[in-house]
Every structure is written in structure tokens, then in C-alpha cells.
Amino acid sequence: MAGILIGFIVGPQNIDFLMIMIIIQMVQMSISMDGLELKKGDVKHYKKEIWITFLCCYLLNAGVTILMGIPFMESHPDVWYGWALFASLPCAISVIICGMYMKGDVKLALVSVTVIYLISLALTPALSYVLIGNAVSPTEILKYIVLFIVIPFLVSLLIKRLHLKAERKTVIINAIFMLLVLFAIAANRSAFFEETMLVLSILALVTIRLVVITIIPLVWSRRAGVDRGRSVVYVSMAAWKNTRLCITMAMVLMPGAVLPCVLSLFAENFWFMIMVNRADKIWGIDSQPQSL
């Protein structure tokens, strides 16, 4: 919230927000990816669960996101591109954090996020091309996928040698996250005041989207008798795309497309606070999640 408030106060200055955000995003992804790995037998053990998480991320989340963006295709093409890019990106690495805070299956979250990021190297450029066409070159998208995913993953292998404690990593990631939000808001502050109705309509759809993609896997997992550990991961995977990555890529590739990403960030912050506070009521306090 501090980043949001400061961003509105500071506003656009004679600062190269774009370059700063690229650097911040790379650092944030590098630290966040510390710990992502696939051990022998992980994929085989979680084969069914990984498939479900993939469907939650790239079928349910992406599908609903595309539906929310369709009303803007003719009236505001740039906004539609933002929704389309959002749908194309992988889940947030914070799905793992959700698993920790909501007493989910952290091991499943870790394995699923790793697999989905590997798949996204090919799927994100392909899906974005299908949705956006030649508005942005798939090669450009692939370039930034390498910049924001492949390179940070390689850097994370070096960070692993530092043996950073989880608490220290959390502090660093939160600080970087605040800066990313601050710069994203500051760079786009004028849109919030000059296009108020557009902002409110996007915010309404962002909220509806988040409610829908949370309820569907939650109801399904209850009816299917899925335990809390897996259900938490399915719900988190369905609800949380990598919004920070989307904001940075939108500002790099097509600045007019950033609004759906920025407003989704607002909604997701509130979503996370609500879900963490009500997790025991939603899943039952007696549920016994799996852990690492």
C-alpha cells in the first residue's frame, strides 16, 4: 500500500522509470526463483496435480482474463492488448508464498511453478501472438521472457550459494515489490485522473475476474474431495498471474496496455490479505496440509 500512495504523490518525474523497472523486475525474479528446482521423481509423483495446476493457470485464468478483455477490443485496443498479455503470462511465483501462508502443499506449489515457468518459455510467446497478432513481435516477447525468466533463473543458481534465509528474502522481495508498484503508479498516474470511467470499468472487471477464478477451483475441489494442501495450490494458481512481470513487459512493449495489469495488482493485494485471514474458515481449521 505504501508503494501505491507514494506513486500517486510522486507522479511522473524526469526519471527513466522503464529502465529502473526492468532492473528491479530482474532482481526480484532472481531472488524469487531461488529455490525453484525439480528433483528426480517430482514430476512423476505430482503428474496429475501438475496437469490440474496448468489448467488452472492457462485455461481457467487465461480464459476468464480474455473474456474480461473482449469488451475493449474495438473501443480501446491498447487495453485489450494488456488483457491479452496478462492472459499469456505464467502464474506468480508468489503461489509458493500462498502455499506457505494458507497452509497448502508447498512442495506441490514449488514443483508446479517450476514446470509452468519452463512451459511458459514457449507458450507465452505463442499465446500472445494468437491473441495480439503483429501488434507486438513474438520475437520481442520471447526476448523479454528470456530477460525476465531465463536470466533470473540462472542468476538464482548463484544466489542459492549465498544461503539467504527465508526472512531476509521476504524483506528484500517486499521492498522491491514496493518500488515496482511505486514506479508503475507514478509513471501512469495521469490515467487515473484523466480516464476515470475507463479505470473504474477495468477495476470492476478485474474484481469480477478474481472472484470467478477463485470460486471455480474452490467449489470444484470441495466437490472432488480434494484436501486442503492441494486445493490451496489450485486456487492460488488459478487466481494469481505474474502481475509484476506483466506490468514491466507492458511498459516496455506497449505502455498503453498497462492499466489492466496495474489494476489487477490492486485487486490481488486485497485478495491475498482476505484469503490469508480467512483461510481456516474457507478450508477448515482441522485440515492437514502437506509440506516440504
Which pLDDT value is given to residue 25? Answer: 78
Average pLDDT over residues 206-213: 96
Bridge partners (DSSP) of residue 251 are none
Looking at residue 176, its pLDDT comes to: 74
CB distance 54 to 203 below 8 Å: no
Cβ contacts of residue 84 below 8 Å, gap of 6+?
Answer: 66, 69, 128, 131, 132
Q: How confident is the model over 41-78, as pLDDT tens digits?
A: 888 889 999 999 999 999 999 999 999 999 999 999 99
Q: Which of the two residues, 231 and 290, has the higher pLDDT score? A: 231
| DSSP reduced 3-state for 82 | helix
> What does the mean pLDDT of the chain come to?
84
pLDDT over threshold 90, residue 93: no
Determine the pLDDT at residue 290: 47
d(CA 187, CA 191): 9
Please state the domain extents for the chain: 17-282
Handedness of CA 45, 228, 91, 127 (dihedral sign): positive
Strand partners, 91: 241
Tens digits of per-residue pLDDT, 17-44? 667 778 877 887 887 777 677 777 888 8
Grid coordinates in use for 188? 501512469
pLDDT tens digits for range 6-16: 555 555 555 66
Write down the residue that cell numbers 508503494 correspond to: 3
CB 214 within 8 A of CB 235: yes
Interatomic CA distance for residues 67 and 83, integer angstroms: 9
The domain at 17-282 falls in which architecture?
Answer: Up-down Bundle (1.20)
pLDDT of residue 53: 97
Query: Model confidence at 195, in pLDDT bands (50, 70, 90)?
Result: confident
**Residues forming beta bridges with residue 241, ordered by sequence position:** 91
- pLDDT score of 121 more than 80: yes
